[in-house]
A and B are shown apart, each in its own frame.
Chain A
Amino acid sequence: MDDLLADFVAETREMLEAIEGELVAWESEPSDRARLDAIFRFVHTVKGNCGFFDFPRLEKLSHSAEGALAEVRAGRRHPDSRLVSAVLAIIDRIMQMTNAIEAGEEMPAQGDEFLIAALEPDASDVGEIAAMQSGESAAKSNEAGPSAPRTIRLPVELLDRVMSGVSDMVLARNDLARRLRESGAEPTLDGPFERLSGILGDVREAVTKMRMQRIEHLYNALPRLVRDLSADLGKQVMVDFEGGAVELDREMIEMIRDPIVHLIRNAVDHGIEAPAVRRAAGKREIGMLTIAARQSGNRISIVITDDGGGLSTAKIGAKAVSNGLITQSELDVMPDSAISDLIFEAGLSTADEVSAISGRGVGMDVVRANIEKIGGTISVSSNPGEGTMFFLQIPLTLSIISALTVSVQGQRFAIPQSFVEEIAHGASANIEFSQVGDSDLVTFRGKRIPCLSLDNVLELGQRRAARDQRLVLLRLGSGGLFALGVDRIHDQEDLVIKPLAPAVMQTGAYAGTTLLDDGSPVLMLDIATIAQQAGLITDSRARPAQASAPVKAAAEAERRSIMTFVALDGRKRAIDLGLVSRIDLVDASAIDIDAGRSQVVVDDRIMKLVGVGCAQITDEKVKLLRLSDSETDIAYAVAELGESIDISTDLAPAEGDETIEGVALIDGQPVPVVDGFRLFSGNQHQQSRDSRPLCRLPEGDEWVERMLKPMVSAAGYAIATGEDETADVVIALEGTPPDVADLKAGRLITIHADPAKAGNDKHEVYRYDRDGLIEALRSARLGKAS
């Protein structure tokens, strides 16, 4: 039996178990509205689920039971004992059929029509007899029992307990690790402790997996549903899924399955118009249905969009008035959005005809009830003629979150990694700060992004966004982007998030707390709420005004390729792909490491070898990245090769480590990028200052100071400072000819901001073309005319 069917059977059985008590109670008190509603929802859900599968009899049964109960709900019919028995008989039959489906048997003998007939108000006693018979056979089939289970179903609370136990163990382990470190414990403890850590890691992973499922699991069933529905209705609907990899709690998936199926049925049935109508409205005949899931912090947002006719507020309003939900005078003063929200009220359906697919006005109140039960929210927005969007926000009970730790004024905070788009240094050349009124903006890659300072957000003091901050660029669930200025960015780690005390929760700034490895508690920032409090939710994507300075042409080209690898010390690093000329595999015997000197023989040439550090070479073969600056080759020994990735040039600075150019954020992981220029400069024969060629740079330009100067001096040039020095090479920026009298032919390099203008000539270099610049420097120094 396939998984879907098994789910269906299990779910139906569970629901039935849940309402079993209600059934009995309803029998004794048929006018009890709450019980009636619960039973009604059951048959409605069964009917809905049948939409996945081809169970016409089951669907027919549940549809007729639903119909009879709807009459009762509407007050048009009194629930007499005969109706109650008939409904109970149908529910018994549903159970029988479910058992048969599970066992893979044929459906029990016919007889459905009697059961359905018994629901009719004027039904004879035939119904009752049929009901009794059905009851007997139900009892019989129960004796046979369901087939032996291949899996076990566990209460989620049990999993929760295991999960929280494991989380506590992780924290206790961290605490122990810290204490062992502090007390300088005996080395004999290290082995067992490492083993404990390893096992704990495995267990944690397994427990997490136990509870997690990709939302894909839910998606899988939907195309078929949409296809069958649209075929029934003579519509054409294309369905598109996004974010299938978003993982959420298994229980959560179960909880949102019904609501989502309801919403999709409604979208196909009521939202998307018939092809002819669509054509007349100038739309494509094929309707689009999009379901997008996204994890934002501790919540999952799911957006279901259709490009159908949208909600008709006039119709909803009229219906709500006629159903007595609101009065006409209330309706008159209601804004459109409030009218749209009425669809979530019980007993409202705008469809003109009741169909088997949806439209008894139960769908939406059931949807809302189910979503709210799990602590989620649902809202709708609609544009007449353009379509409808349903926004679902589901909490993520998952308690381990990958987070970035930052600090401000010495206090640490965690930011869920899912929000983090990029990290940048405030002092980086392509970031500009500006102020509009009291608000700070940063301009980054041609976009103006609102910038909050964490100091202000947390009321730790007033400050403006400035260059001494690090910026964390955060992407909100709604797609908006904003920057958060912090003092330092520390680390990225998996944190076990615990709920906060209500008094702390009230602040709205935090989503949870956790203990870091050193035992100190750290608060997890609630990014969505912070953005909302700052008023950034709606208007965060303001483009630079047309009148503002033209976006730097370089913005687009500011991406470069790097290659990741695992160094011999096991750490992940990256290097500029432009430097890598080839990859070699050499025998360990070709490597010669001596005190302070390491060399390798490749293709009968002796090369400098770097990247070995003090690591021992144990493998027989060693992978080498052959780096070339077009003059010298250097071999970089690596343990494993990674991939080449395009990144932004904006690396976070690597504090205190001069061999690192900066730290790139790759797939949420910080990866240090090896400074290629330093590698080469460090491997040249050290020239004394006097013998170094002199290079004159343009003065007073920030980019030159920050970028060009270090690059040129790393390439082995002295920078001319005084007016009287005669430079070997002169570098000028485009449009600003150098003010130098002694310029020799062929010794001028011009830097262009526009890559299109560079490249015609060896001495016309684009500002981020490092290799080009090095080559130009070399040829200019030799005085070669190009």
Chain B
Amino acid sequence: MNELIVLLHIDDRRVAIPAAEVQSVIELEDIYPVPRAPDFVVGLTAMRSRSLTVIDCRRALGIAGETATGERAPVVEIAGHLYALLVDAVDDVIETQSDIRPVAGGFGKEWQRVARGMVETDRGPTLLINASLLIEGPVARAA
């Protein structure tokens, strides 16, 4: 049950993704924008001669505002594609100290979609998120 997770900060909240899913953490250099792409796709960048899609996590969650660039970004591979996740900060790699648990009442409308559940860590309770749901971006709300 003790799983390694990578602690991240998105919109001033502490979240985590399993360390096994994170290929590496890179310094984002040049980002090449993709015209007409959804707004949470910041652009493309290159890592070790592969091209990565850069996702602004805040926007992918449907939270207003923009994540400041220039920080380090975790890289995940989902369905054969590499994504760099633009987050406020990459904190640390730590061990979980509990199973994944739900929270009564959910995690809030933006977070519920990507949440796997809550885990206890030595930094306090942390929201474990599902990166493959995150990169799909905010779901168009039914009118």
User: Across the interface, which residues of B come within 8 angstroms of A498, CB to CB?
Assistant: 50-51
Give the contacting residue for B81; candidates A175, A501, A515; CB below 8 A.
A501
Let me know if B53 and A500 touch, CB within 8 A.
Answer: yes
> Does B137 have its Cβ within 8 Å of any Cβ on chain A?
yes
Looking at the assembled complex, report how far the CB atom of B51 sits from the nearest CB atom of chain A, in whole angstroms: 4
User: Across the interface, which residues of B come within 8 angstroms of A175, CB to CB?
Assistant: 46, 48-49
Known contacts A503-B136, A521-B44, A171 near B35 by CB under 8 Å: no
> Does A361 have its Cβ within 8 Å of any Cβ on chain B?
no
Let me know if B46 and A504 touch, CB within 8 A.
Answer: no
Let me know if A503 and B37 touch, CB within 8 A.
Answer: yes
Let me know if B45 and A521 touch, CB within 8 A.
Answer: yes
Let me know if A501 and B135 touch, CB within 8 A.
Answer: yes
Let me know if B32 and A521 touch, CB within 8 A.
Answer: yes
* Complex CA–CA separation, A499 to B52 (angstroms): 11
Looking at the assembled complex, report how far the CB atom of B84 sits from the nearest CB atom of chain A, in whole angstroms: 11
> Does B105 have its Cβ within 8 Å of any Cβ on chain A?
no
Let me know if A503 and B49 touch, CB within 8 A.
Answer: no
User: Across the interface, which residues of A come within 8 angstroms of B51, CB to CB?
Assistant: 498, 513-515, 521
Let me know if A499 and B36 touch, CB within 8 A.
Answer: no
> Does A442 have its Cβ within 8 Å of any Cβ on chain B?
no
Known contacts A175-B49, A499-B80, A501-B83, A507 near B44 by CB under 8 Å: no
We find that the number of chain B residues with CB closer than 8 angstroms to chain A is: 26
Let me know if A513 and B44 touch, CB within 8 A.
Answer: yes
> Does A65 have its Cβ within 8 Å of any Cβ on chain B?
no
Give the contacting residue for A459; candidates B30, B35, B41, B136; CB below 8 A.
B35
Let me know if A520 and B46 touch, CB within 8 A.
Answer: yes
> Does B25 have its Cβ within 8 Å of any Cβ on chain A?
no
> Does B33 have its Cβ within 8 Å of any Cβ on chain A?
yes
Looking at the assembled complex, report how far the CB atom of B103 sits from the nearest CB atom of chain A, in whole angstroms: 28
* Complex CA–CA separation, A174 to B135 (angstroms): 29
> Does B63 have its Cβ within 8 Å of any Cβ on chain A?
no
Let me know if B53 and A503 touch, CB within 8 A.
Answer: yes
- Measured CB to CB, the nearest residue on chain A to B41 is A503
Let me know if A503 and B46 touch, CB within 8 A.
Answer: no
> Does A147 have its Cβ within 8 Å of any Cβ on chain B?
no
> Does B38 have its Cβ within 8 Å of any Cβ on chain A?
yes
Looking at the assembled complex, report how far the CB atom of B62 sits from the nearest CB atom of chain A, in whole angstroms: 14
User: Across the interface, which residues of B come within 8 angstroms of A499, CB to CB?
Assistant: 80-81
Give the contacting residue for A507; candidates B32, B34, B137; CB below 8 A.
B34
* Complex CA–CA separation, A683 to B67 (angstroms): 62
0 or 1 for each of A470-513: is its CB under 8 Å from B? (1 = yes): 00000000000000000000000000001111111011011001
* Complex CA–CA separation, A519 to B32 (angstroms): 11
> Does A120 have its Cβ within 8 Å of any Cβ on chain B?
no
- Measured CB to CB, the nearest residue on chain A to B135 is A503
Let me know if B34 and A519 touch, CB within 8 A.
Answer: no
* Complex CA–CA separation, A507 to B81 (angstroms): 17
Give the contacting residue for B137; candidates A168, A172, A503, A510; CB below 8 A.
A503
* Complex CA–CA separation, A520 to B46 (angstroms): 7
A-B contact count (CB 8 A): 76
Known contacts A501-B53, A503-B41, A520 near B32 by CB under 8 Å: yes
User: Across the interface, which residues of B come within 8 angstroms of A688, CB to CB?
Assistant: none
> Does A411 have its Cβ within 8 Å of any Cβ on chain B?
yes
Give the contacting residue for A515; candidates B37, B49, B55; CB below 8 A.
B49
Let me know if B53 and A504 touch, CB within 8 A.
Answer: yes
0 or 1 for each of A42-78: is its CB under 8 Å from B? (1 = yes): 0000000000000000000000000000000000000
0 or 1 for each of A405-435: is its CB under 8 Å from B? (1 = yes): 0000001000000000000000000000000
Looking at the assembled complex, report how far the CB atom of A433 sits from the nearest CB atom of chain B, in whole angstroms: 23
Let me know if A521 and B46 touch, CB within 8 A.
Answer: yes
* Complex CA–CA separation, A502 to B40 (angstroms): 13
User: Across the interface, which residues of B come within 8 angstroms of A460, CB to CB?
Assistant: 35
Known contacts A501-B53, A501-B83, A507-B36, A172 near B135 by CB under 8 Å: no
* Complex CA–CA separation, A669 to B113 (angstroms): 51
Looking at the assembled complex, report how far the CB atom of B117 sits from the nearest CB atom of chain A, in whole angstroms: 25
Looking at the assembled complex, report how far the CB atom of A669 sits from the nearest CB atom of chain B, in whole angstroms: 26
Find the residue from B45, B46, B51 having the highest chain A CB count within 10 A.
B51
* Complex CA–CA separation, A538 to B11 (angstroms): 48
Looking at the assembled complex, report how far the CB atom of A497 sits from the nearest CB atom of chain B, in whole angstroms: 11
Looking at the assembled complex, report how far the CB atom of B136 sits from the nearest CB atom of chain A, in whole angstroms: 7
Looking at the assembled complex, report how far the CB atom of A774 sits from the nearest CB atom of chain B, in whole angstroms: 49
> Does A458 have its Cβ within 8 Å of any Cβ on chain B?
yes
* Complex CA–CA separation, A379 to B51 (angstroms): 35
* Complex CA–CA separation, A171 to B37 (angstroms): 25
Let me know if A411 and B81 touch, CB within 8 A.
Answer: no
- Measured CB to CB, the nearest residue on chain A to B38 is A503
> Does A130 have its Cβ within 8 Å of any Cβ on chain B?
no
User: Across the interface, which residues of B come within 8 angstroms of A316, CB to CB?
Assistant: none
Find the residue from B34, B41, B44, B80 having the highest chain A CB count within 10 A.
B34
User: Across the interface, which residues of B come within 8 angstroms of A514, CB to CB?
Assistant: 51
* Complex CA–CA separation, A503 to B36 (angstroms): 11
User: Across the interface, which residues of B come within 8 angstroms of A510, CB to CB?
Assistant: 34
Let me know if B80 and A523 touch, CB within 8 A.
Answer: no
Let me know if B49 and A171 touch, CB within 8 A.
Answer: yes
Let me know if A459 and B40 touch, CB within 8 A.
Answer: no
- Measured CB to CB, the nearest residue on chain A to B29 is A519
- Measured CB to CB, the nearest residue on chain A to B45 is A521
Give the contacting residue for A523; candidates B38, B44, B46, B136; CB below 8 A.
B44
* Complex CA–CA separation, A502 to B82 (angstroms): 11
Give the contacting residue for B36; candidates A458, A500, A501, A502; CB below 8 A.
A458
Looking at the assembled complex, report how far the CB atom of B79 sits from the nearest CB atom of chain A, in whole angstroms: 8
Known contacts A498-B51, A521-B44, A523-B44, A504 near B37 by CB under 8 Å: yes
0 or 1 for each of B125-143: is its CB under 8 Å from A? (1 = yes): 0000000000111000000
User: Across the interface, which residues of B come within 8 angstroms of A506, CB to CB?
Assistant: 37-38
Looking at the assembled complex, report how far the CB atom of B98 sits from the nearest CB atom of chain A, in whole angstroms: 33
0 or 1 for each of B78-118: is its CB under 8 Å from A? (1 = yes): 01110100000000000000000000000000000000000
User: Across the interface, which residues of B come within 8 angstroms of A515, CB to CB?
Assistant: 46, 49-51
* Complex CA–CA separation, A665 to B15 (angstroms): 55
Looking at the assembled complex, report how far the CB atom of A484 sits from the nearest CB atom of chain B, in whole angstroms: 14
- Measured CB to CB, the nearest residue on chain A to B33 is A411
* Complex CA–CA separation, A514 to B49 (angstroms): 9
* Complex CA–CA separation, A460 to B33 (angstroms): 11
Looking at the assembled complex, report how far the CB atom of B129 sits from the nearest CB atom of chain A, in whole angstroms: 17
Scan residues 432-477 of chain A and give those whose CB is less than 8 A from a CB of chain B.
458-460
Looking at the assembled complex, report how far the CB atom of B57 sits from the nearest CB atom of chain A, in whole angstroms: 13
Looking at the assembled complex, report how far the CB atom of B69 sits from the nearest CB atom of chain A, in whole angstroms: 16
Looking at the assembled complex, report how far the CB atom of B29 sits from the nearest CB atom of chain A, in whole angstroms: 10
User: Across the interface, which residues of A come within 8 angstroms of B33, CB to CB?
Assistant: 411
Looking at the assembled complex, report how far the CB atom of B135 sits from the nearest CB atom of chain A, in whole angstroms: 7
Looking at the assembled complex, report how far the CB atom of A596 sits from the nearest CB atom of chain B, in whole angstroms: 44
User: Across the interface, which residues of B come within 8 angstroms of A172, CB to CB?
Assistant: 48-49
Looking at the assembled complex, report how far the CB atom of A11 sits from the nearest CB atom of chain B, in whole angstroms: 30
Looking at the assembled complex, report how far the CB atom of B75 sits from the nearest CB atom of chain A, in whole angstroms: 13
* Complex CA–CA separation, A521 to B82 (angstroms): 13
* Complex CA–CA separation, A168 to B51 (angstroms): 11
0 or 1 for each of B47-75: is its CB under 8 Å from A? (1 = yes): 01111010100000000000000000000
User: Across the interface, which residues of A come within 8 angstroms of B30, CB to CB?
Assistant: 520
Let me know if B46 and A519 touch, CB within 8 A.
Answer: yes
Looking at the assembled complex, report how far the CB atom of B59 sits from the nearest CB atom of chain A, in whole angstroms: 11
29 interchain pairs, CB-CB under 8 A: A168-B50, A411-B32, A411-B33, A458-B36, A459-B36, A460-B35, A498-B50, A499-B81, A500-B53, A501-B41, A501-B135, A502-B136, A503-B37, A503-B53, A504-B37, A504-B41, A506-B37, A507-B35, A507-B38, A510-B34, A515-B46, A515-B50, A515-B51, A520-B30, A520-B32, A521-B45, A521-B46, A522-B32, A523-B34
A-B contacts besides A501-B135, A507-B35, A510-B34, 13 pairs, CB < 8 Å: A174-B49, A175-B49, A458-B36, A498-B51, A499-B80, A501-B83, A502-B79, A503-B53, A504-B44, A506-B38, A507-B36, A513-B51, A520-B32
| Chain A contact residues, CB within 8 Å of chain B | 168, 171-172, 174-175, 411, 458-460, 498-504, 506-507, 509-510, 513-515, 519-523
| 8 A-B pairs with the lowest CB-CB distances in the bound complex, closest first | A458-B35, A171-B49, A521-B44, A501-B53, A521-B51, A507-B36, A175-B49, A501-B81
